[in-house]
Structure 1
C-alpha cells in the first residue's frame, strides 16, 4: 500500500531529471536509491525534505537542498522534494516563531520583545539602513539560526523514525493478514 500510493502520487524519474534546478546534478541522479521506494530510502527522503524545508529561501532553494541531501545520503529524491512543501506561506511564520523560541531557549538570549524594523527605512538609502539592519540581525539572528538548525534536525529525526516505525507496523499487519487469509 505505501509503495503503490507513493508511486501514484510522486513525480516520475524523468520529470525530475528534466527540472532546471535539478539538471545541474547530471549523472549523480542515476543512483537507484534515489528512485526506489523502500523503507530506508523513503524514511531518508522524508528526513531530507523536512530538514531542507526549513532552509531560508523559496521553494526552488529548498528543492535544491533536498536534492543535494538526497544525492549525498542516497535517499528517495522525489519524496524529499515533495516533503519540503510543508513550509509554505501558511506555515512558515509559526515554524520560524517556534525556531526563534527554541533558539532563544538554547542560547539563553534574553529578548523581552521583538521590535519591528521601521518601514520608513525603505525610503532611505542603503548607507542609512544597512547598519540598522545589521544590528537587528545580530540581535535576533543568532537565536533564529540556532533554532532553525535545531528544529530542522529535530523534525528530520522524528520524521525518519516515524516513517520507519509506521512502515514496519504496516508490514507486520500485512503479513498477519496474509497469514490469516492462507488458513
Structure 2
C-alpha cells in the first residue's frame, strides 16, 4: 500500500535522468539504490527532500539530488519533495521559520517591507537573516526527523497489514 501511494507521487526516473541539471552527476546516477523504492530509501528520501525544502536558496532540486546520492536514498522522491516549498507555500513557510528563529534567538521581530532591489537583499540578510536561517535549519531538521520516522512507521504498518490480510492467514 505505502509503496503504491509513493510510486504515484514519484516523478518518472527516466525523465529525471534526462534532465540537464541532473546529468551533471554523471556516473554517480548509476547506483541502483537511487532508483529503488523501499522503506529505507523512501524514508531517507523524505528526510532529504523535506530538509532541503526548508533551505532558502534557489536550485533546491539540485541540492536534494546532491544529498540523495551520498545517502543512497530514492533520488526522484527526494527531488520531488522539494516542491513542498513552492511559490504559494514559501511565504508562510519562511515566515514561520523566521518567527521560530526569532523565538530561538530571543530577538524582537524586525519591521519588514519587501522591495525588489539588491540593497534590500543586503540589508535583509543582516536584519532578518540570522533568525530566518536558524528557523529554517530548525524546521528543516524537525520536518526531516518526523517524516523519516513517520514513513518508516507507515511503511512497516502497511507491510504488517498486507501480511495479515494475505490469503491463508490466520487473521483473515
Out of 112, 115, 128, the position equivalent to 2:112 is 115
Q: Show the counterpart of 1:10.
A: 10
Q: CA-to-partner distance for each residue in 1:96-154, whole Å, 9 max, x for gaps? A: 1110011011111123x52315x5x85xxxxxx73x65343211110001111111111
Which of structure 1's runs of 4+ aligned residues deviate more than 4 A? Answer: none
Question: How many equivalent residue pairs?
Answer: 170
The CA distance in 1 between the partners of 2:129 and 2:107, in whole Å, is 11
Alignment map for 1:32-181 (pairs within 5 Å): 32-58=32-58, 61-111=59-109, 113-117=110-114, 119=115, 130=119, 133-178=121-166, 179-180=169-170
Per the TM alignment, residue 9 of structure 1 is displaced from its structure 2 partner at its CA by: 4.6
Q: Secondary structure at the match of 1:84?
A: helix
Query: Could you tell me the TM-score, scaled by structure 2's length?
Result: 0.89
Q: Secondary structure at the match of 2:128?
A: helix
Q: Show the counterpart of 1:125.
A: none
Gaps of 5+ in 2: none
Q: Does 1:31 align with 2:19?
A: no
Per the TM alignment, residue 11 of structure 1 is displaced from its structure 2 partner at its CA by: 3.0
Compared with structure 1, are the counterparts of its residues 14 and 109 closer, same or farther at alpha carbon in structure 2 (3 Å cutoff)? same
The CA distance in 1 between the partners of 2:121 and 2:41, in whole Å, is 42
Moved more, 10-19 or 33-42: 10-19
* Larger helix share, 1 or 2: 1
The CA distance in 1 between the partners of 2:10 and 2:125, in whole Å, is 38
Gaps of 5+ in 1: 123-128
Per the TM alignment, residue 172 of structure 1 is displaced from its structure 2 partner at its CA by: 1.0
Query: Could you tell me the TM-score, scaled by structure 1's length?
Result: 0.84
Structure 1 vs Structure 2 CA RMSD: 2.1
The CA distance in 1 between the partners of 2:121 and 2:57, in whole Å, is 18
The CA distance in 2 between the partners of 1:84 and 1:70, in whole Å, is 12
Question: Rg larger in 1 or in 2?
Answer: 1
Compared with structure 1, are the counterparts of its residues 8 and 143 closer, same or farther at alpha carbon in structure 2 (3 Å cutoff)? closer
The CA distance in 2 between the partners of 1:171 and 1:133, in whole Å, is 49
Q: Show the counterpart of 1:126.
A: none
